[in-house]
Amino acid sequence: MAGDTDADGLAPTLQNILDQTSLKWIFVGGKGGVGKTTCSSCLAVLLAAVREKVLIISTDPAHNLSDAFRQKFTRTPTLVNGFTNLYAMEVDPTVETDDFDQMAGQLAQASGLGGAGGPAGGLSGLLEGSGMGSVSELAGAIPGIDEAMSFGEMIKLVQTMDYSCIVFDTAPTGHTLRLLQFPSTLEKGLGKLMALKNKFGGMMDQVSRMMGVGEEFGRM
């Protein structure tokens, strides 16, 4: 019957997605309130019936996966109750000091700024010595930090890829677009940071020594 298929000839079901065994990453997106969590949760459950190991991950700061499955999930993949091969996790938008310090160090090394990671002698040491507050306070004030941490979790999953399929329960469209644009945004930001270091690094190093902070800026 004509009503059984849409204009493109595909049945209005999820079967065409389930049949594509080559799919590794599935993003469920849309504006707020359209049912992204419901669709992604149902899709993950159906995939678990035909795939070896499935992970559903929420990148929305306002997580709903725990409500959908009536089970508390964290930033660590957790086996969903009643399943043997379905895992769920929610990216934690709260940035811990060690996590941000480590991320800052990795970004600094990647951009040629030198080692800035490690809570003992990196960014946290500089902030604590200057009275500017903790790293977590600084990180929480950075625009897009939740997208950065979400992107970091995605990179970890890419590196390990212990799952046959990963379903992303994304945030509303604007947030998700910022998440996907994060690599190019980061590249531009690091370029500006390099320019600032080359221009003001010597002066800031002298000021830091006068304040008794040390040469942290010069080593960043």
For 139-156, what is each residue's pLDDT tens digit? 444 555 555 666 666 667
Sheet containing 25-28: which strands, arranged edge to edge? 25-28, 165-169, 54-58, 86-90, 78-79
The per-residue pLDDT for 151 is 61
Which residue is catalytic, options 4, 6, 8, 60?
Answer: 60
Show the low-confidence residues of the chain (pLDDT under 70): 1-11, 92-155, 157-159, 172-220
The per-residue pLDDT for 212 is 59
Query: Which residues of the chain does CATH 3.40.50.300 include?
Result: 21-94+146-180
Q: Can 60 be counted among the known catalytic residues? A: yes
Distances (CA, A) of 115 to 75, 100, 107: 26, 14, 9
The per-residue pLDDT for 168 is 87
Please choose, from the candidates 144, 173, 164, the residue with its C-alpha nearest in 3D space to the C-alpha of residue 26: 164
Alpha-carbon distance 25 to 118, whole Å? Answer: 32
- pTM here is 0.58
In CATH terms, the fold of domain 21-94+146-180 is Rossmann fold (3.40.50)
pLDDT in tens, 176-190: 555 555 556 555 555
